[in-house]
Amino acid sequence: MTLDDLVGGGSAVVTGFALDHRKVAPGTIFGAFAGARVNGEDFIPAAVANGAVAVVARPEAPVEGALHIADAEPRRRFAGLAARFFGPFPRVTVAVTGTNGKTSTAELTRQLWRLAGHAAASIGTLGVTTAHDQVSTGLTTPDVVTFLANMGGLAREGITHASFEASSHGLSQYRTEGLPVAAAAFTNLSRDHLDYHETMAAYFDAKLRLFTEVVDGDGAVVVWADDGDHSARVIEVARARGLRVLTVGAGGETLRLVTRTPTQLGQTLVIEAEGRTHKVELPLIGAYQAANALVAAGLVIATGGDTAATLAHLARLLPVRGRLERAVITSANVPVYVDYAHTPDGLVAALAALRPHATGRLIAVIGAGGDRDVGKRAEMGAIAQAQADLVIVTDDNPRSEDPAAIRAAILTGAPDATEIGDRRSAIAAAIAQAQAGDIVLIAGKGHEQGQIVGDRVLPFDDVQVARSCAA
């Protein structure tokens, strides 16, 4: 492929795309964007020196020695060009956005497609997942080069169906542009990432881009109908574009959740769809897991799946890594669960999911990340104290902040909690105190394999630590 093929700008052969000047090789198209901490335009000369044949940047950016592809919104232009380079992509792609549930919904969609006989994959917080492999990308929504290269690679490997998480950061930075999106889903909206978006309105607007701009004009939108005004707004903007809307949940019309009854290892769902009543034994616990499963089913149906068969396949779903994952059952017969809940709403959902299964105490180990929204810390402490019987406040990726200051902020909302800064010691203490009938929840890190302290990532896996403490 040449520059002529892409932009009509010369015969130079295009060998790749890069956002980091250090990754530029001869023939690369370099994307120079202004970021929160670094201005990519400062590295244009270095990129050209390394062999960049073109630079995508704002019209006023100084570019010498390479073709200047000028655009007022260079991220979007860069994504469009990269998509032409890395395509073709899987025949069916769908996107999931919302505050909580993106990872589970994307992965459960992949599982349902696989059960229907499709070669399927998911991309998101867990990395790139197929039926045979899982490779980490390091971000919920990876940079656009990584994202499109992965999608193109999946297509070459025979993947026909792919689901991906569309985070608010990814949507606002055009990281998921360029490929056809047949259907998009909305799970819910609650407080998160205000350190980046500053206001809830701006945060929601970033999410709405998926429905107003990204999903195909003849595509479909699946909405969890029970998130009040947020659900109503997504439905409104989707219908304004003439998109097909499928609603799921207690207030849903496509898949109406009639009843949900907790069982020992899951829950029984009664669902009305297409004039029929379906009873499903879902092997996942918690109301939010039922919500994720129904949104995933909606995406499969929206992209041609048979309704009855899709609902039947819900009984064969497997737990998603770090999402109410049962790490171990202790010698005292206490189940220990690990969950990614790191927002107030996520913590409420995780505790509510486990409460019906605890005949004794519900013990929660919680923390909050450093260099992130500070306003949620006391709120999370208050939620834990109100909904759990015993709370231990510990460290959770303090990053550059003083861990003790983060814990102190949480403790203002949970004055009765126990403070144990070292996360391993906190988990050990929770497990040591648990007795038959109790349940332990370790919240915040979920699938993560490291604890971020300063500029170091120290190996740490809540599931493995829980198992070692219970041994």
Cα separation, 168 vs 334, in Å, equals 37
What sign results for the dihedral spanned by CA atoms 179, 185, 189, 191? Answer: negative
Q: Confirm whether residue 356 is marked as ligand binding.
A: no
Specify the DSSP element, H or E, that contains 255.
Answer: strand 255-262
What sign results for the dihedral spanned by CA atoms 293, 296, 298, 303? Answer: negative
Q: Confirm whether residue 467 is marked as ligand binding.
A: no
Q: Confirm whether residue 412 is marked as ligand binding.
A: no
Cα separation, 50 vs 31, in Å, equals 14
Helices marked H in 116-178 — which ranges? 144-156, 168-172
Q: Confirm whether residue 99 is marked as ligand binding.
A: yes
Q: Confirm whether residue 209 is marked as ligand binding.
A: no
Q: Confirm whether residue 261 is marked as ligand binding.
A: no
Q: Confirm whether residue 448 is marked as ligand binding.
A: yes
Residue 244 amino acid letter: R
Burial class of residue 362 in the structure, from the number of CB atoms within 10 Å of its CB (0-12 exposed, 13-18 middle, 19+ buried): buried
Q: Confirm whether residue 28 is marked as ligand binding.
A: no
Burial class of residue 257 in the structure, from the number of CB atoms within 10 Å of its CB (0-12 exposed, 13-18 middle, 19+ buried): buried
Q: Confirm whether residue 127 is marked as ligand binding.
A: no
**The token pair that represents 265 in the structure block:** 């290892």
Q: Confirm whether residue 310 is marked as ligand binding.
A: no
Q: Confirm whether residue 77 is marked as ligand binding.
A: no
Q: Confirm whether residue 372 is marked as ligand binding.
A: yes
Determine contact, residues 437/299, Cβ cutoff 8 Å: no
Q: Confirm whether residue 103 is marked as ligand binding.
A: yes
Q: Confirm whether residue 398 is marked as ligand binding.
A: yes
Cα separation, 391 vs 389, in Å, equals 7
Tell me whether the omega of the peptide bond preceding residue 180 falls within 30 degrees of 0, making it cis.
Answer: no
| Of 101, 92, 73, 86, nearest in space to 213 by CA | 73
- DSSP character at residue 210: I
Q: Confirm whether residue 75 is marked as ligand binding.
A: no
Q: Confirm whether residue 104 is marked as ligand binding.
A: yes
Q: Confirm whether residue 22 is marked as ligand binding.
A: no
> Exposure pattern of 455-466 as b/e (b: 16+ CB <10 Å)?
eeeeebbbbebb
- Numbered residues of the known binding site for meso-2,6-diaminopimelate: 372, 396-399, 444, 448
Binding residues for ATP: 98-104
**Binding site per annotation, positions:** 19, 98-104, 140-141, 167, 173, 175, 372, 396-399, 444, 448
